[in-house]
Structure 1
Amino acid sequence: MATLLTNDQTALPDASTDKPSQSGGNAKPVKTRKELILQRWYALKNERSSWIREYKDISNVLLPRAGRFFVEDRNRGNRRNQNIFDSTATKSLRVLGAGLMAGATSPARPWIALKTPYDDLNKKHSVKTWCADVTKLILDIFNRSNVYRSLHSMYEEIGAFGTSVSIIMTDYQDVIRMYPLTAGEYCISTSDRGEVDTLYREFQKTVAQLVKQFGYANVSDNTRSMYDTGNLDVWRTVIHCIEPNEDRDPSKSDARNMAWTSTYLEIGGSSDSQQSSNMGTTGGDNALLSVSGFKKFRVVAPRWSTYGGDIYGNGPAMDALGDIRQLQHEQLRKGQAIDYMTKPPLQMPTSLKNHDIDTLPGGASYVDSATPNGGIRTLFDVNLRLDYLLSDIEDVRSRIKSAFYEDLFLMLANNTNANMTATEVAELHEEKMLMLGPVIERLHDELLKPLVDAAFDIIVEAGLLPPPPPELAGVSLQVEFVSILAQAQKQIGTNSIDKLTMALGAVVTMQINAQQPVTVLDNFDPDGWYEQYTDALGTDPGLDVDPDQRDAARAARAKAAQQAQQQAAMQQAAETAKTAAQAPTQGGASNVLSDTMSNLTGYTGGPQ
């Protein structure tokens, strides 16, 4: 593989960024880069704080292993599912994640196609072939890297918390690599256009990991001291921020002057930093580990849906949280009620105190016969109608499954009508796709398009892009989605095309049966029908014939037909002449041909 060129150029911290400068005796000192990072991180955490409680509630009853709400939440195997008494919601979320994975970004089939903005250019065979080759290259890189594993976890994350985030980085082994995050360990912010353009995250690395990744000279004094004494597995807190570089010089292309800055800051908990104390850090110093840059925002942060100026998204789990809580409560109470009915609390006389009472089936207890039942009876009776409770539980389960679109993704698997026609299946797909359409469009805009753009840029910088045809010089490319879900929405339009062609065929049949000219086909463009239908179905461009070759074949076929028609006319003329030569006239003394020649000879004037 060719040597990769990365757009993330690492630059070591500049000592000047850590020193405040003063323009005068009374001027306020300029905040250092460290102080600015801590200040904004604390502000973003405060902005996000109103979402954390709901994130925790969702994590408790849906995904106990997801969510990192404390910086120390790492690799903990303690039991976390004590609040889940019914796993319906978790299974429905799994179905949602798997359905989005198979429907939008299936590793088993193409789900993107590169095209130009111009239809005429897209019809050229060289352009179509090159775009198809680049598409296959991008999908092959995705298959070789961790992209699909990351996408699956992001789909579950966005279904649970409404927002999912992943960092896209150049990788020297896999070309591209994604680093998905979970709720609670990151903060995001948006631009004036409502697009996510800032990411702050807090995580921990060991002393050994910090020194290996950033170098001994760039870590804090505390970390160097621990490294020197062999305390390699002590965890250290790091803040990573990716944000627009407002102070860059556009005329320069070094790491410090790229459009987005990427900075790692090790938190040592300086005592004079209010922000550090608010984050609970203790002891040591803060150190800029790395300052680097990106030409483009290498973070994807899709949101299920947003309202107004909200930064974080709203997901299906938030809509179904009340139903999920109700389901857990009903299952808990159902178990308690069954326990009360099968093993109720007992009321016994004081004379039996400290005596053995066998409450198991077939057990024997010795009591005073003068007292009915020995004075042993239930403390209170519980008469639970389990049928009513189970009916309500099933109703809650159906609402949860509907909230996670389980009925959509398992539509055909759960269908009991074995005689359903293809038309009925198509109409059912159309109805469901209309419900999921807005979510798919948002995933395209906020997740998949930026991912494909990043992969294309990395391929270009790595020198892996095949030479483009001359027609593409100076032409931009755009991504078209041809996944199952995307095609399902497009194929809604094919229903009208199918109805048109069926009606057209019926009219053609009527005209033929009536022995009339088939004039209705004068309104039909077969080439236009083919282009629209193949585009809606997303077929491989390799199946198409080059339009120039097609036109040449048609011209050759027309020329051959014309030549055949001319030969037929010449043959008919020869047959006519032969017949004329054999037809006798003037009592058999001559024939039509000789008489004609004689008549023509007379017009020449003859010899004088």
Structure 2
Amino acid sequence: DIALDDEGNPDTVFQFRRFTLRQVEQRFIKERLSENLKRSLENRGEANLDMKIDFLRVVEPRANGRVDAALARNMPFTNDWMEIDSAHEISEGGFREFPFVIPRWDTSSGEVYGRSPGMIALPDSETSNAMSETILVAGQKAADPPFFAPNDSSFDAINSFSGGISYYDVDTAVQLRGNPFFSMKNDYNLPITRDMQFDTRQQIEAAFFKNVFNLPVRGPEMTATEVITRKEEFIREMGATFGRLESDYLAPQVETAFSLLLRAGEFDPIPEILLDRNVRFEYTSPIKRIREQAEAAATRLWVQELMELQPIKPEVMDLVNVDEVGRHAARALDLPIGVVTSQDDVEAIRTQRAEAEREALEREKVAQEAEIAATGG
């Protein structure tokens, strides 16, 4: 069982576990066990070591817990074990961070446990399975249809398998003017049943967002505006889902890993400007990348429109921050960090270029003045 904090995030876990006596001895300190468990372990010859004992583990926020606590019982989250039958507390521990990651695909207001797309697709899945069974039966009947025969025309059961031979009475065949065996006429419309099953499968795929996860790719018949529109549609449909997974699944793992590495001294000293400040992580997700790609494409269209207006009013290009346009496009394409020159390096390159141009102008000016002095005027 789990419980939520005031913001709706899981922060409490009640875990029911069942251990054998041998596992109890391996896991817990013998002196902390209940008297009944101690006697069971001492009387090994009489006790059944495979006997199951129920335990409860509680991990929840601890009042007045401290992250810098040296003792586990003073840490922000409890880690307590209790024997259920005797209500005996066996151990009292703790964690500096909540140790569980509990992702939930979707939740309603006030709902503790989430729901998955499988719950939405379950009725269609059962329908598709029933259709498959019906189609198999229909296909089998079409390939190997039932036979009809007069009850006195055959000497034995009809052999309907491939290569089978059935013997019939000649007199009966003469009376019927032909073969007395004939198959049941069937009008099975297998294509329409396959179409019905295909429609159901498409509904199942839609429940799992397969049609949305196929990211829009620009084709020869699509304009840049159409690509942007499709990507914006993808963002609207999947933004909430990825946001939930980011907050419930990715964020706890990253923050816990960061805290563990920080305490282990794996990072450089924290800059003074960041001391006593809250750190917020930004995640690179498919949604964020697609949003940036859509923004970069829209920016290119905007710049192209400004370039068309430039002959009319050249000053219109002053609206464009060309450096930022280039950097935003690089972020949208997820280019390696080393590919794009840093802002400081760009400033240094431009300063050196300007200095070289200034020196070249000065040399040219000195040369012109010397030439004028040599010619006398």
* Class of the TM-score when normalised by the shorter of the 2 chains: 0.7 to 0.9
Task: Quote the offset at 1:550 in angstroms.
Answer: 3.9
- CA spacing shift, 1:519–1:410, aligned 2, 3 Å: closer
Matched residue SS, 2:300: helix
Q: Calculate the aligned-residue CA RMSD, in Å.
A: 3.9
Match of 2:82 among 265, 268, 287: 265
Match of 2:324 among 516, 519, 528: 528
Where does 1:337-348 land on structure 2 (aligned, <5 Å)?
337-341=138-142, 342-344=144-146
Instruction: State the identity as a percent.
Output: 25
The answer to whether 1:551 aligns with 2:347 is: yes
Task: Quote the offset at 1:393 in angstroms.
Answer: 0.7
The answer to whether 1:243 aligns with 2:44 is: no
CA contact (8 A) 1:210 1:219 kept: no
Matched residue SS, 1:192: coil
Task: Quote the offset at 1:452 in angstroms.
Answer: 0.5
Task: Quote the offset at 1:368 in angstroms.
Answer: 8.9
Letter aligned with residue 10 of structure 2: V
CA contact (8 A) 1:349 1:375 kept: no
Quote the Cα distance in structure 1 between the aligned partners of 2:291 and 2:167: 72
Letter aligned with residue 338 of structure 1: G
Deviations, residues 33-66 of structure 1 (Å, cap 9, x unaligned): xxxxxxxxxxxxxxxxxxxxxxxxxxxxxxxxxx
Structure 2 partner of 1:400: 204
Task: Quote the offset at 1:386 in angstroms.
Answer: 1.1
> Structure 1: 5+ residue runs without aligned partners?
1-186, 271-284, 582-608
Structure 1 partner of 2:189: 385
Match of 1:290 among 85, 91, 105: 91
The answer to whether 1:567 aligns with 2:368 is: no
Matched residue SS, 1:402: helix
Quote the Cα distance in structure 2 between the aligned partners of 1:356 and 1:226: 69
Task: Quote the offset at 1:446 in angstroms.
Answer: 1.6
Matched residue SS, 1:480: coil
Quote the Cα distance in structure 2 between the aligned partners of 1:471 and 1:534: 28
CA contact (8 A) 2:65 2:77 kept: no
The answer to whether 1:318 aligns with 2:119 is: yes
CA contact (8 A) 1:206 1:234 kept: yes
Task: Quote the offset at 1:537 in angstroms.
Answer: 4.1
Pick which of 546-555 and 457-466 moved more: 546-555
CA contact (8 A) 1:255 1:294 kept: yes
Quote the Cα distance in structure 2 between the aligned partners of 1:496 and 1:563: 41
Deviations, residues 317-357 of structure 1 (Å, cap 9, x unaligned): 1222221111011111222333455354878759999x655
The answer to whether 1:486 aligns with 2:288 is: yes
Match of 1:303 among 104, 109, 119: 104
Letter aligned with residue 285 of structure 2: S
Aligned residues: 367
Matched residue SS, 2:106: coil
Structure 1 partner of 2:253: 451
Where does 1:118-517 land on structure 2 (aligned, <5 Å)?
187-219=1-33, 221-222=36-37, 225=40, 228-229=44-45, 235-246=52-63, 248=64, 253=69, 254-267=71-84, 270=85, 285=86, 287-341=88-142, 342-344=144-146, 349=151, 356-361=157-162, 362-365=164-167, 369-370=171-172, 383-410=187-214, 419=220, 423=224, 428-508=230-310, 510=311
Task: Quote the offset at 1:542 in angstroms.
Answer: 4.3
Task: Quote the offset at 1:436 in angstroms.
Answer: 1.4
Task: Quote the offset at 1:383 in angstroms.
Answer: 3.7
CA contact (8 A) 1:348 1:377 kept: no
Quote the Cα distance in structure 2 between the aligned partners of 1:499 and 1:194: 42
Letter aligned with residue 318 of structure 1: M
Pick which of 355-364 and 328-337 moved more: 355-364
- CA spacing shift, 1:343–1:215, aligned 2, 3 Å: farther
> Structure 2: 5+ residue runs without aligned partners?
none
Where does 1:26-45 land on structure 2 (aligned, <5 Å)?
none
Quote the Cα distance in structure 2 between the aligned partners of 1:577 and 1:550: 41
Quote the Cα distance in structure 2 between the aligned partners of 1:189 and 1:402: 31
- CA spacing shift, 1:347–1:460, aligned 2, 3 Å: farther
Matched residue SS, 1:197: strand
Letter aligned with residue 94 of structure 2: G
Task: Quote the offset at 1:305 in angstroms.
Answer: 1.9
- CA spacing shift, 1:394–1:457, aligned 2, 3 Å: same
Deviations, residues 403-438 of structure 1 (Å, cap 9, x unaligned): 2122333457xx9x9746684656544433332121
CA contact (8 A) 2:292 2:332 kept: yes
Pick which of 426-435 and 362-371 moved more: 362-371
CA contact (8 A) 2:62 2:76 kept: yes
Structure 2 partner of 1:117: none
Task: Quote the offset at 1:314 in angstroms.
Answer: 2.6
Task: Quote the offset at 1:225 in angstroms.
Answer: 2.8
Matched residue SS, 2:252: helix
- CA spacing shift, 1:313–1:552, aligned 2, 3 Å: same
Quote the Cα distance in structure 2 between the aligned partners of 1:375 and 1:236: 72
Letter aligned with residue 482 of structure 1: T
Task: Quote the offset at 1:402 in angstroms.
Answer: 1.8
CA contact (8 A) 1:300 1:451 kept: yes
CA contact (8 A) 1:482 1:538 kept: no
Task: Quote the offset at 1:235 in angstroms.
Answer: 4.9
- TM-score, normalised by the number of residues in structure 1: 0.52
Letter aligned with residue 435 of structure 1: E
